Every structure is written in structure tokens, then in C-alpha cells.
Amino acid sequence: MSHLKHVAIAGATGAVGVEMLRCLEQRNFPVGQLTLLASARSAGKTVKFKGTDVTIKELKADSFEGVDIALFSAGGGISKEFIPHAVKAGAVVVDNSSAYRMDDSVPLVVPEINAEDVKKHKGIIANPNCTTAITLMALWPLHQAFGVKRLFASSYQAVSGTGAQAIEELERQTREWAKAERKWDDVRLPADQVKVYPHQIAFNALPHVDSFLDSGYTKEEMKMENEGRKIMHHPTLRASVTCVRVPVFRAHSVAVSAEFEKPVTVEAAYEVLRTAKGLDLVDDPTLKKYPLALDVAGKDNCAVGRLRLDCALDNGLAFWVAGDQLLKGAALNAVQIAECLV
């Protein structure tokens, strides 16, 4: 590849696509030519990149001629349909959907963990699930030091992980409640206000992210184990996860209890996490300092805190990790993968 790249973004008008564009600009990615692709209804609109208006084009099979790197964030169905065309045209694709994550021929990459896997690509590199990526930012350095065996986790996932329509729904439901001047014990809204999720999301918590499997887990919950094994090259990792959608606009949080092969202390864990790339240690409960969704929103780094010995596990450590799922959980990670290609 030459120094300047012809970069395409498929799904350029979505929540993640917008962040991909911002990351490319903020990180001074060597973009020589930029192609923005979306649905027919968005074609013809313009967005600014480095002060220049770029016209959005309709995503078609022939949209990738001359493209070096294509960033996809338009859903699994779109990825399955159009990525083969992009690869055939000579582009290297970084896909943010789940379409290729568990394909043995496709690297699944978090650059801070397994950047070397990028070299194994055959035209496609997969971006991991957002909750998995954020959790592994804290778990990986601990695994290197102590050897993780299994983990139990509960996620608290922002609505922006679902997309722009979910953001709008939470805002609309909240405004509807405030407009009606209801009291705290009267928060249930009319059914016509519930469209994106199966239940009202405002003032609620939904233990339902993605579709349910026969096991009773959801697809989202199994991604932590399946993707974690692949990214960390740890085929025996075991993870029991409950994923919950909460009325937060941006940034996921995850409560983790992990059991390790080696004895672990809080002090030793601090030393490991202080120097971990892409991670901030925020842990001083006496001063009420711990990772908050509000604080990591819009930030590249994830944050970890609330470290304590797990009183129910041998060699166990409990911690709380938070990160912007539109950034490290999606757009930023994809651009970092593209940087590995460069």
C-alpha cells in the first residue's frame, strides 16, 4: 500500500460510521481519498472531513473500485452482501458486524491485545463485540500476569449500542415523561412510545440484549466467551455473562469477577493495570472515584476501578470497567486496526 489511502466507510451515516469518520480525522489517518457509502435515502447528503464537503454515495456492489481500506458498520446482512465485492475489488475490509467474527479464516482483533493477527488477514479483519472489547481491555493485562480461568460478568449497556433510533427513543421517552409532569412513581409510558426495544427503556433496565438462544443466554452474552477465546488465544476461557440494556445514552459498563490460575492481590493488579495501554486506572472509593459512563463517554481510553479480592472465588478479583462502546467498542478499534495495516 502507498502512504496515502483511499478509504471507504460503509454505513457512514450511522452512529458508528460518524465516529469512524471523526476518528480518521482526529488521528490524522493518511486518507488520500474518502468514499462515504450509505443507503439510497442518504445518498446526496454531504458531511465535512477536514473542512471539505464529502458527498455520500449509495452503497452498491461496484462502490469499491480503487479502495484500499473499507470500514464497514452497516449490520451483518449488509456485510455479508457487500464485503465480498469489496475484497474482490482489492480492498482490505475491517468489519464491525458479527458476520465474520467467528470465521476461522478472519482475524478478530483488539490491537492492544493481538495486533499481530492483522498480518493473517485474507481481505477481511473483524472488529469484536463492543462489550467484549471493553472488558478485555482490563482483563487482558490481568490474564498476562495471573492467567484467567473463568469470569462472571454483568454488563450495563448504553442505548447507542443499538444505534441512532435507540438514542432517539430514550430521548423521546424521557421528554414525554417530563412533559407530562408525572411523579417518580408514575413512569410507565403509552405503548406507542415503545418501538425500538420490546419494553420501555426510560427508567428501566432490560436483561435482554440480542436474541435468545436455546441455552437461555443471549447471543450477546455468549460473545464474551467465544470472542474472548479467539482474541486472547485462550481456548479454555469460560465466561458466564448477563447483558443488560440501561437508560444511558453512551458508554458501556461491566462488572467482572474473574478467577485466575495464580494468586492475585489488589496491589499486584494495580501495578499491572497502571501501565496497560488504552486503559486508565480510576480507583479511590474514599474520594468516590471509580469509572463512570459519563466520564468515559467520548474518550478513547477505557477505565477500570473498584478492584477488590473476590470473596467467592479462589484467586479471584472483582472489578468494574467502563468504556465508550462507539469508540473502543467499535469505531476507534476499527481505525486502530486500519492503522496496523498502514
Q: Is residue 311 annotated as a catalytic residue, yes or no? A: no
| Residue written as grid cell 476499527 | 334
Q: Would you state the pLDDT for residue 182? A: 83
Global pTM reads 0.94
3-state secondary structure of 66: coil
Q: What stretches in the chain show pLDDT beneath 70? A: 1-2
Domains of the chain: 5-128+331-341 (3.40.50.720), 132-164+195-325 (3.30.360.10)
One of 23, 130, 243, 302 is an active-site residue; which one? 130
* CA 216 centroid distance within chain: 23
* CA angle in degrees (0–180, nearest 5) for 107-113-116: 50
| Residue written as grid cell 418501538 | 195
Q: Would you state the pLDDT for residue 1? A: 47
What's the one-letter identity of residue 124? I
Q: Would you state the pLDDT for residue 2? A: 55
Beta-carbon-side half-sphere exposure of residue 314 (alpha carbons within 13 Å): 3
One of 6, 85, 143, 252 is an active-site residue; which one? 252
Binding residue ranges for phosphate: 101
Other CB atoms closer than 10 Å to residue 180's CB: what's the count? 9
For 217-248, letters b (16+ CB in 10 Å) and e give: bbebbbbbbbbbbbbbebeebebebebebbbb
Binding residue ranges for substrate: 157, 245
Element (H, E) at 6: strand 5-10
Binding residue ranges: 13-16, 41-42, 101, 157, 160-161, 245, 325
Q: Is residue 243 annotated as a catalytic residue, yes or no? A: no
